[in-house]
Amino acid sequence: MKSSKMIIKNMFSLTIAEVANKGIVFVFTAYLARVILPEGFGIISFANAILVYFLLFVNLGFNVVGAREISKSQEHITKYANSIITARTVIAFLAYAVLFIVTYFLDKPLLVKQTIWIAGINLFANAILLDWIYQGTEKMEFIAVRQVVTSLLNLIGVVLLVHSKNDVVIAMLVTVISTTLNSIWMLLLYVKMFGKIKFEFDWNFLKPILKSSLPISFSVFSGIIMNTMNTVMLSIFRTEHETGIYNAAYKILLLVIVPSVIIQNAFFPAISRSYTTEERINIIKKFSMLMFLFASILTLTSLTFSDFVITFTFGNKYSDSIVILRMLMITSLLVYYNVFCTVPLNGWNKEKEVMYSIIAGAVVSIVLNIILIPKYGPMGAAIGTISSEVIVGIFLTYNLFKTINKFYLLPLLKFTLFAVISCGLGYLAHINGLQSVFSGILSVLIFALINILFKTVTFNEIKSYFVK
């Protein structure tokens, strides 16, 4: 099938890029965390957490709606590009002004404020970022190249310029410059492929886009609360050190869920084009198999060997992050499942259902963070994160079932059980003398063997992706 071939093409481009990209990010994060220590790492994490609230207004759900509509029809690409970039650029100027004023009156040292102000430049880089066009036209290779180049520039910059905990501002400046350069490159590529960008404001054209994007924005905002409120509150109620400890573990979580980003981006156009119940069930079957396969083994492997992962990546000064990582790996499994539910619902114009689900999780996150973080610090933040994802999962499960009349929890539980068995055997080998790296590899191999034996993943299914 044409869609299956395109999915494989997109996944191949994104996977190659993500492997290279995350490999670079892994080295970048490890180096940066070791050099600027937990306190400096906490400052950068706090600045980025503040920034994403303002990025919400710049993005405003336009990327999802734009990619969805372009995937259905490419007739109005230039109109979407011109209108969305115009709106986002205007919003970026307003957002930066508010960010600057709010930060100025923030009860934080000047170093923290300067870091936030520099991070705010990313508002303009994101305003002109055109990833959504390349996703909608299924030209994922351009997204892939941009991601790798951005990460490579970040790594080169911090290695050359960041050498101590006093270089926090320089570290942030490096990431801002690399992001901006790559946004400009994507813009120039668009001009070459589709024509010049024109600033235009057509309210009649933007109105239906906003109608669809606003529920997505509320969903994203609620998701931001779930994912960043703990960092903000740790910085306010506890210490920069504890903020750094929590975010070291959280960086590993973000690394573990990378395949979910690849898979959802590759499947989203095909899912959006499925209209009949039969078409939807067929595409969701493939989507769920890949999501749950990666979710189970990556989550359980990282949980089982969390002490090695943290120490190897960040060093002994981050040993307190080990228990936080173990807790966040429960979150990882939930994130994969929730992404699996969210993508088809957004693709089938069920933005409001997704919005209400994530708002429910955000409310739980706020309440638990307020109660737990002042007393329990990073542990309280982790508990709040897990609980909020559980709530979101319950609501999303109900909405997806209402849409296609099928539950998908059983396949996830099956894959997870196989991963528990595999990692358990790998850990037994580890405590009997096998090194952590080889024990992790052994766990993955056992997991693959179990799935082949029980035919949860068959060669025919894999082959179906490549059949025309």
| Percent of the residues in the chain that have a pLDDT greater than 90, as a whole number | 34
What is the spatial distance between Cα 365 and Cα 380, in angstroms, rounded to a whole number? 11
Structure confidence at residue 31 as a pLDDT band (50, 70, 90)? confident
pLDDT of residue 173: 93
Q: What angle do CA 260, 215, 129 make, to 5 degrees?
A: 60
Q: Return the structure tokens found at 302.
A: 């990282």
Global confidence as pTM? 0.70
Separation in Å, CA 112 to CA 34, 104, 170, 171: 19, 10, 12, 13
How many other CB atoms are there within 10 angstroms of residue 305's CB atom? 21
58-93 pLDDT per residue, tens: 877 777 777 777 776 666 788 778 888 888 899 999
pLDDT of residue 466: 44
pLDDT of residue 66: 72
- Which residues, other chains included, contact 262 with Cβ-Cβ below 8 Å and sequence gap of 6+? 11, 14, 15, 18
Instruction: State how far Cα 435 lies from the chain centre.
Output: 30
- What average pLDDT does range 211-232 have in this prediction? 74
Structure confidence at residue 276 as a pLDDT band (50, 70, 90)? confident
Q: Return the structure tokens found at 27.
A: 């080295």
Ranked by mean pLDDT, which of 94-103, 186-195, 217-226, 232-241 comes out on top?
94-103
